[in-house]
């Protein structure tokens, strides 16, 4: 994501989004300390072995969520660039799975099928929101038709799983590549402006950080207005690009004094310094869904605990004798001079 990270952070805090999905982050280990956003849990997957790719999902801390790890059975499964997070439902509301997906333009049909298999796993009795860059520019979404075989197979998968595609306007150079798919009506709203699941709950995670001043807020809102005008053809691309540059520079200037003060006062305010560093490196990791031998997916905490307990218990055999109780007296060994091990002179070698 490069120099857009600060702008993304400011925008997320300004709009108080509950969930923020990002594709093509281009992150690696060197970004571990700088990608966290205050008040959000971060789920991420970086592309391994080559540059580019990668995606992230920021979820408000008050939202109970956990990453889903889908076991890769084939080599093609490992090539699928996807990230899945389960959002716990409130009261009698079912859980919702949020997926982020990136499909390279040259991806072959074998990897496409591996992705469709992942969809089948995540769709087990759950509501799902899937966002990302699908790279099917030949699809006509008004008539649900496509020229290429892989694009037609994608449309078939959407129809078979009762997905609705919600993005209506082209996202890049007249092509509709970035999609938002859901299998539950009413789960996503305001698609042109926000593209996030509905939520009415608010928490302390939405509080504004000290560096996000009113002046910076005004500039960020101004940039959003310029973007809307550019989408409607009322403003030139050069004007919108200038708004991006201004907001990026102002965000950097706003955060610089905070970092300088923390570094300067580290000897007298160690707690504040390490709280800032810890917050930047903070990610939440939970035990994801587990698969039983029967093929059933276990998602509840109690069920996962029982399954893990059964697995660890299976390590011990019937021949293993129970461990004798340990006492303090038995642990005390008194060594005398005669008991000490000796090394003979001829045992020493240079």
Residue 257 in this model has a pLDDT that exceeds 60: yes
Question: pLDDT tens for residues 205-217?
Answer: 455 666 777 788 7
User: Does pTM surpass 0.75?
Assistant: no
Give the Cα separation of 93 and 64 in Å (integer).
13
Is residue 149 very low, low, confident or very high in pLDDT (cuts 50, 70, 90)?
very high
The pLDDT of residue 80 = 87
Residue 117 in this model has a pLDDT that exceeds 60: yes
C-alpha separations of 273 from 23, 260, 267, 270, 276 in Å: 31, 11, 9, 5, 5
Question: pLDDT tens for residues 31-61?
Answer: 665 677 888 888 988 887 777 778 889 998 8
Residue 150 in this model has a pLDDT that exceeds 80: yes
Rg, the chain, Cα only:
27
Q: For 133-267, where are the alpha helices, taking DSSP H only? A: 149-160, 214-231, 237-264
Give the Cα separation of 249 and 241 in Å (integer).
12
The pLDDT of residue 197 = 41
Q: 2-205 has which CATH code?
A: 3.60.10.10
């Amino acid at each position: 994501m490069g120099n857009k990270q600060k702008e993304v952070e400011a925008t997320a805090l300004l709009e108080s989004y509950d969930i923020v999905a990002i594709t093509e982050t281009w992150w690696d280990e060197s970004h571990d300390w700088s990608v966290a956003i205050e008040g959000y849990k971060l789920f991420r997957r970086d592309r391994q072995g080559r540059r580019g790719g990668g995606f992230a999902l920021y979820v408000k801390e008050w939202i109970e969520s956990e990453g889903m790890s889908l076991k890769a059975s084939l080599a093609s499964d490992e090539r699928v660039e996807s990230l899945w997070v389960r959002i716990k439902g409130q009261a009698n509301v079912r859980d919702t799975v949020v997926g982020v997906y990136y499909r390279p333009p040259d991806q072959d049909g074998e990897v496409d099928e591996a992705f469709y298999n992942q969809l089948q796993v995540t769709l087990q009795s759950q509501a799902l929101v899937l966002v990302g860059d699908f790279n099917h520019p030949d699809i006509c979404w008004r008539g649900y038709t496509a020229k290429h075989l892989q694009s037609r197979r994608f449309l078939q998968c959407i129809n078979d799983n009762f997905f609705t595609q919600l993005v209506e306007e082209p996202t890049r150079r007249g092509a509709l590549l970035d999609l938002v798919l859901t299998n539950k009506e009413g789960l996503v709203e305001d698609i042109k402006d926000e593209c996030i699941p509905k939520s009415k709950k608010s928490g302390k995670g939405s509080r504004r950080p000290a560096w996000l001043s009113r002046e910076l807020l005004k500039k960020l809102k101004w940039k959003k207005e310029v973007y809307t005008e550019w989408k409607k053809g009322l403003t030139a691309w050069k004007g919108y690009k200038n708004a991006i540059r201004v907001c990026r520079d102002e965000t950097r200037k706003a955060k610089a004094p905070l970092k300088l003060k923390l570094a300067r006062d580290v000897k007298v305010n160690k707690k504040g310094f390490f709280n800032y560093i810890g917050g930047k490196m903070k990610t939440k990791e939970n035990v994801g869904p587990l698969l039983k031998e029967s093929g059933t997916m276990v998602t509840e905490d109690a069920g996962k605990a029982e399954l893990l307990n059964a697995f660890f218990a299976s390590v011990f055999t019937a021949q293993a004798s129970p461990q004798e109780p340990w006492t303090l007296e038995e642990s005390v060994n008194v060594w005398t001079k005669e008991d000490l091990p000796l090394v003979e002179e001829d045992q020493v070698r240079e």
